[in-house]
Every structure is written in C-alpha cells, then in structure tokens.
Amino acid sequence: MKLTADMQRVVMEQRLGFVATVTPDGEPNLSPKGTTIVLDDAHLMFADIASPGTVANLAVNPHVEINVVDPVVRKGYRFKGTASVHPGGEMYDRGIDALHAHGSSLTRDRVRAIVVVAVTSADILISPAYDGGASEAEIAASWLQRINEAHTSRTETGEHRQT
C-alpha cells in the first residue's frame, strides 16, 4: 500500500516507532526504535543497533506491527507489514543514506542491520481523549503542560535520565 502524506509526516516528525514482533513461542515482543523513518511511499525502516530479540523473531516470522504516535496531539498510526533484515548490501547502504539524509549521525559500525518494512495496511490511532469533543489544540496544550511539569519536577528533584 501507499503511505499517505499525513502518515509520512507523523513518522518523520516523531522518529519513534514501537515495533511489535512475535517470538517463536508465540509471545509478544515490543520495543521502541528511534530510527524509524519513511524509506519510500510504501516502506518504513529502522536500524538494528541493539535489537537482537526483534531481529531473531523476524527471522522466523517476518510479520510486524509498528505504532507511531504523537504523544502531544495524541494521534498516530499503526502500520502492519512484512519485514526484511539487511545486514549489508544495497538496501543497507540505502538505509544508512536515508538516516543521514534525515539528520542521523549514526555510523555504520553501530548499525548491525537495516530493517525494511513493506507496509501492507495502516490505520489511524486517535486517543479517546477526543471523545468529549476537545480540539487538537486543547489536547496538545494540556499534554504539553503535563510533559513540561513532569520534566521540570524531575530536574528540580535532581533525578537524571538513564544514560
């Protein structure tokens, strides 16, 4: 399928996909990939930097779902597709080039593989926060405030992010 302009916009703005695969035992496996970008209008991709579980699962079952959500506006998309893992070759080079073209400074030695997802279906995700008729601007203002408050109080209490 073809990714719409809005799907591509959300993915490229967020750069964070939550990638679900299935283990050989049928267990769910979900992990975030901050290298999730649009490769072309039918494919998403991410870099395998530290994702042994995801890659091992894809070797057995290439079906994947990726959720990309704007946490401020509380909207996003869920993409289902079929993944191929490229530890080298033309697609690896293309993926590295695409990451660099979108501002990544990742070096090749850090990227074990480029995972390309041919998207087969996509659906919009909208928070039930909109059910009461709130506007996008109202939802965004409220969540920006909550996020700011959480980070401000963390700075004040001297808590630090994990490295």
Ligand X SMILES: Cc1cc2nc3c(=O)[nH]c(=O)nc-3n(C[C@H](O)[C@H](O)[C@H](O)COP(=O)(O)O)c2cc1C
49 binds ligand X (CB under 6 A): yes
What whole-number distance in Å separates Cα of residue 34 and Cα of residue 32? Answer: 6
48 binds ligand X (CB under 6 A): yes
> Which neighbouring-strand residues pair with 76?
69, 125
87 binds ligand X (CB under 6 A): no
Whether the CA torsion 49, 53, 59, 64 is positive or negative: it is negative
24 binds ligand X (CB under 6 A): no
What whole-number distance in Å separates Cα of residue 22 and Cα of residue 90? Answer: 27
73 binds ligand X (CB under 6 A): no
Distances (CA, A) of 105 to 61, 135, 139, 154: 30, 37, 33, 28
Size of the site for ligand X (CB under 6 A): 16
Please identify the residue of the shown chain whose CB is closest to the bound ligand X. Answer: 53
32 binds ligand X (CB under 6 A): yes
14 binds ligand X (CB under 6 A): no
- Of 90-109, which residues contact ligand X (CB under 6 A)? none
Q: Name the residues that contact ligand X, by CB under 6 A.
A: 16, 29, 31-35, 46-54
